[in-house]
Structure 1
Amino acid sequence: MTTDTIALIRNSLDSLRKSEKKVATCVLGDPKAVVTSSITELAEKSGTSEPTVIRFCRKLGLGGYMELRLNLARDLPSSKYIFENISTEDSLAGIAGKVINAHSEAISNTLNKLNLDDLEKAVQLLHSARRVEFYGFGGSAIVAKDAYHKFFRLGIPCAAQDDSHMQVMSAALLTPEDVIVAISHTGSSKDLIDSARIAAKSGAKVIGIVGNENAPLIKYCDIALSAHSQEAAILLAPMTSRLVQLAILDVLFVAVAMKNFHGTKDRLDRVKRSLVDKRH
């Protein structure tokens, strides 16, 4: 298999350091696996470190690890990386079946693998929080906004932040009575990790919702809830991971709401009545 990215790596071998060559060897050995691996996973597989992986990418003239993954996904002769195992020969019914089955499997796997002790701790933190902030970027930002849309109805002061500057400013002003929920499938977004680090330094509790149990973000989380999904849609917007994140946050929302059933019911009734005049 000869592709632009693979050829570039092979042609760069002589200029790489010993540790960077380990990364190159790992990528050349199984480029398909790299497309769906986090930077932490590649560092572990190659016996190196995340900074080494980043240096390797920059030696190739790439902006970072995500660009390497995107280039490999683009170059590999397989439609698999558009979404799951869908090919150009699939009918509309076949596409629908594969997409929906992938979603169903991801949610089922999450239910089976959720740590109930961690889930209970997260519910307690959210229930007793003075303020809750939801952080996310890209597809995870949409999930953060959905969580805000639900949780504010419980009478908990909260916000959704999807701007890196707003995140670090809000994180710096949090207190030990506050909670942030950091949402990321890869758990390797530098800006989100910075926000979580600052929030933790402020004394706030950090709940992470991540798709990788070895994600760098977890280092700054008091509780990490794993959203299990094999997100292969690197060339599309996140899909299965987004649905799993939404499902976990729905569980947290309902569980927190049930902590004060009568108060929650009253608030939701008032919200519903306030919307009556908005409808025909």
Structure 2
Amino acid sequence: MANEVNDLFLLIESKRNDFTSVEQVIADYFIAKRKILSISNLAKEIVVSAPSITRFCKKLGLNNYKELIFLYSLSLRDQTVDASMISTPVTASYHALATRSDASYRSQAVTNFCDLIHSTQIILFWGLGFNSFAGQDFTFKFSRFGKFIQVYSDQHSILLSAASAGKDNLILISSLSAKDSNILKAIQLGKENGAQFLLITANEDSPFIDYCEETIYAASFSPDEALGSVSPQVPILIQLDIIYSKYVNLHKNSVDKWLLSENILKN
């Protein structure tokens, strides 16, 4: 083999940032330690082409699929029973989501998010269903910086908040699909009233994007992940943690307010 790394899992992770979206799907299959298939059957199983799998092998520094399977078999054999219990498809999915989040990271977009949050005192958080849990996390983090945050988690209250929103309001929308027609109407109404919008979504074709000052793209779920093995708010929470970390770095003066709130809570 051309590559000196003898652990396929380590080899895959070392190349993660260089993979295309199709190659990420192939990588996830092996990281999840799924069964060994022929190249044609694997192509059918994960809905990619056989040449894509061959290109994936080449990107790993292997000559062909046969070498990949040989290295995969060795790597599986070297795993202890305890290790195989830990590295389940669920933990592999979490790792894959984190890697896809890193691949979609745009520093300027996150900076723009932070600057708008910093310059606005009143922030409305719109999130249906599981997104409301992400809203609570956002509230916990940023209320410490003196922000007044209100979470709206149903279409009726979102529409009402849009009707009363104004130029002093920043509205952060959390939605992986970002295509709900009622939310779109609320966005259009809020925009007419002068509100500014931020969006976190996995849908790069969302009709919401045109109305937002900035958009951050969360990792999208694979078909297996979408079945419920991973909590649906995880991709959003990853992005909120990225925003929070960047905010603290950019606006260090606000940390004083955070420290004050910490002292109040301790007392």
Q: TM-score scaled to structure 1, two decimals? A: 0.59
2:260 pairs with 1:254: no
What is the root-mean-square deviation of aligned Cα atoms in Å? 2.7
Match of 2:191 in 1: 200
Percent identity over paired residues: 20
2:257 pairs with 1:236: no
CA distance in 2, matches of 1:209, 1:114: 12
Please identify, of 249-258 and 208-217, the stretch whose mean Cα deviation from structure 2 is larger.
249-258
**How far does the alpha carbon of each residue in 1:37-85 deviate from its partner, in whole angstroms, 9 at most, with x for none?**
xxxxxxxxxxxxxxxxxxxxxxxxxxxxxxxxxxxxxxxxxxxxxxxxx
CA distance in 1, matches of 2:87, 2:94: 11
The number of residue pairs the alignment matches comes to: 188
**How far does the alpha carbon of each residue in 1:158-178 deviate from its partner, in whole angstroms, 9 at most, with x for none?**
211112222122222222232
2:259 pairs with 1:269: yes
Query: Cα–Cα, structure 1 residues 121 and 260, in superposed 2: closer, same or farther, change >3 Å?
Result: closer
CA distance in 2, matches of 1:213, 1:94: 36
Residue 176 of structure 2 is aligned with which of 165, 169, 185?
A: 185
Match of 1:123 in 2: 114
CA contact (8 A) 1:210 1:227 kept: yes
Following superposition, the deviation at residue 258 of structure 1 comes to 3.4
Unaligned runs of 5+ in 1: 1-31, 34-90
CA distance in 2, matches of 1:189, 1:95: 38
1:1-280 equivalences in 2 (<5 Å): 97-232=88-223, 233-236=225-228, 239=231, 241-264=232-255, 266-276=256-266
**Amino acid across the alignment from 2:105:** L
CA distance in 1, matches of 2:229, 2:90: 13
Following superposition, the deviation at residue 206 of structure 1 comes to 0.9
SS in 1 for 2:208: helix
Match of 1:78 in 2: none
CA distance in 2, matches of 1:143, 1:261: 24
CA distance in 2, matches of 1:92, 1:122: 39
Query: Cα–Cα, structure 1 residues 119 and 269, in superposed 2: closer, same or farther, change >3 Å?
Result: closer
**How far does the alpha carbon of each residue in 1:167-218 deviate from its partner, in whole angstroms, 9 at most, with x for none?**
1222222222321110011112233323322222221111110011012322
CA contact (8 A) 2:101 2:238 kept: no
